[in-house]
Amino acid sequence: MGVCREAAMMPIRSIEDILQVSLEHIRDICLNDFYFAVDLVKPSVSEKSIGQYVQWNKDFGSFNFEDKDE
């Protein structure tokens, strides 16, 4: 969700005089906004935690990660 929020703010942040701009002069969100946001926003879950969740799933869970692309 942080990436989407950050990408949505990019058009607003690109405006020089926010007090004088009208709504129709704010550009649309573009794919580059998402690329920039992915680089900017830090992960909310650490790699270590993800590994722990994957291991727990292997031990006790029912989701098979190997079959997720089929």
- 3-class SS of residue 21: coil
Give the pLDDT confidence score for residue 63 in this predicted structure: 76
Task: Count up the domains in the chain and report the number.
Answer: 1
Q: Are 4 and 35 in contact (CB under 8 A)?
A: no
pTM of this structure: 0.62
How sure is the predictor about 68, in pLDDT bands with cuts at 50, 70 and 90?
Answer: low
User: How far, in Å, CA of 35 to CA of 32, rounded?
Assistant: 5
Residue 40 sits in a domain whose CATH number is 1.10.8
Residue 1 predicted with pLDDT over 80: yes
DSSP H helical ranges for 1-70: 2-13, 31-40, 47-60
- Work out the number of other CB atoms within 10 angstroms of the CB of residue 33: 21
**pLDDT tens-place string over residues 3-55:** 999 999 999 999 988 888 898 999 999 999 999 999 999 988 999 999 999 89
How sure is the predictor about 69, in pLDDT bands with cuts at 50, 70 and 90?
Answer: low
- 3-class SS of residue 16: coil
**What is the span of the domain harbouring residue 40?**
2-67
